[in-house]
Amino acid sequence: MSVVERMKLWGLKKSPWVYHLNTGACNNCDIEILELLTPRFDVERLGVLLAPSPRHADALLVTGICTKQARPRLQEIYRQTPKPCLVVCIGACACTGGIFHDGWHFDGPVDEAIREVDPDAMIIYIPGCPPKPEAMIATIAKALGDL
Amino acid sequence: MGEDLEAVVQQLKELVADLSVDWTRPHPNRVYISVEKQNVRELGRIIFEDFGARFATATGSDVGEELEVIYHFAYDAVGLVANMRVRTPKGDPVVPSVTPVVPAAEWIEREMNDLVGIVFEGHPDPRRLILADNWPEGVYPLRREHRDGA
Ligand code: SF4
């Protein structure tokens, strides 16, 4: 690993800026993400900052099944992120398609859509419907520790 | 003083009496008013404007040989829900739009057009609403044929 790559990884682990992306969620997972950002869980105290643009993001928080309409947009947003970029599939829907896996609008799951763009993408999964904010914090902390 | 449910129902019944409707009241707080296609817009206007009910939403469904649209109107002062029902054969999936008299019906009619393939004649803006841009024309995901993979 080059020095630049090591610095980028250090930056990501030190303070991951996250971009929240709903690719067809029922909104419940999104509400739980909001819980993370607001005072009760306040992940900003751990260095996690909500980024207003995918071009500033170290991690994508993706919720929802990947719908036919969302798939190309998800892929484009992933392309726009600086690498390395961690993709966090939040909820059963994003992980596998969940209860919508045989829906007519389903075109996922999220990891397939991302791997089509970047076969080596770093993808982590937080199952649950929706997952608890504690589970999200624990999973992301574990993933960052493993990087 | 609050309004009386029976009086309100009676008032609605009188308002719609001029149109040939099929009136049923399966529950004290619920009336079904089935109507022929050509009277849909007029009945919608009567329930919305003359009677003064709030338009809640509408539902479209595939009931086998026919397609059915149900417009749900709520009269909150007494908790009454009035459902205007209209059916059309699948071979002729066209019903008059009520959007010209009930503006809030605009998007739900577009959605029913996308998903069940009901064409609302006289709709001011019948573009695709919720299907993906690359979804094929003429395929309606909530039709029985689609579910059965036929
Ligand atoms: S995993 Fe559950 S809560 Fe999350 S978007 Fe899917 S259905 Fe909604």
Tell me, what's the ipTM? 0.74
- Look-up: residue for tokens 């009520």? B98
Check residue A106 and report its DSSP letter: B
Check residue B82 and report its DSSP letter: E
Q: Which burial class, exposed, middle or buried, applies to B56 when counting CB atoms under 10 A from its CB (0-12, 13-18, 19+)?
A: middle
The stretch B100-120 carries a mean pLDDT of 95
The stretch B89-100 carries a mean pLDDT of 95
Average pLDDT of the residues of chain A = 93
- The pLDDT confidence band at residue B9, using thresholds 50, 70 and 90, is very high
Distance CA B110, CA B97 (A): 10
Q: Is A101 near ligand 1, meaning CB less than 6 Å away? A: no
- CB B60 within 8 Å of CB B112: yes
Alpha-helix residue ranges (DSSP H) falling in chain B: 5-15, 40-45, 106-116, 144-147
pLDDT at B149: 57
Q: Does pLDDT of A147 surpass 90? A: no
pLDDT tens sequence across B19-68: 888 999 999 999 999 999 999 999 999 999 999 999 999 999 999 999 99
Q: Does pLDDT of B86 surpass 80? A: yes
Average pLDDT of the residues of chain B = 93
Distance CA A118, CA A75 (A): 9
Q: Which of A20, A29, A32 to mutate to test the pocket of ligand 1 (most atoms within 8 A of CB)?
A: A29
Nearest CA in chain A to B129: A69
pLDDT at B18: 87
In sequence order, what are the beta bridge partners of A21?
Answer: A62
CATH superfamily for B5-147 is: NADH:ubiquinone oxidoreductase Nqo5 subunit (3.30.460.80)
CATH class entry, domain A3-146: alpha beta
* Structure-block tokens of residue B45: 């206007």
Between the alpha carbon of residue A32 and those of residues A46, A95, A109, A138, B59, the distances in Å are 17, 16, 20, 14, 30
CB-CB under 8 Å, A105 with B133: no
Q: Give the Å distance between the CA of A97 and the centre of ligand 1.
A: 9
Q: Is A26 near ligand 1, meaning CB less than 6 Å away? A: yes
- A69, A104, A105 ranked by CB distance to B133: nearest: A69
Q: Is A29 near ligand 1, meaning CB less than 6 Å away? A: yes
Residue B133 forms contact with A (CB below 8 Å) = yes
CB-CB under 8 Å, A68 with B141: no
- B132, B141, B146 ranked by CB distance to A69: nearest: B132
Check residue A24 and report its DSSP letter: S
**Short-list A114, A99, A79, CA closest to A29:** A99
Max CA separation in chain A (angstroms): 47
pLDDT at B148: 66
pLDDT at B1: 55
pLDDT tens sequence across A84-102: 999 999 999 999 999 998 8
Q: Does pLDDT of B2 surpass 80? A: no
Distance CA B135, CA B146 (A): 13
The stretch A9-24 carries a mean pLDDT of 93
Distance from CA of A107 to the nearest CA of B (A): 11
Residue A96 forms contact with B (CB below 8 Å) = no
% of chain B surpassing 90 pLDDT: 87
pLDDT at B150: 46
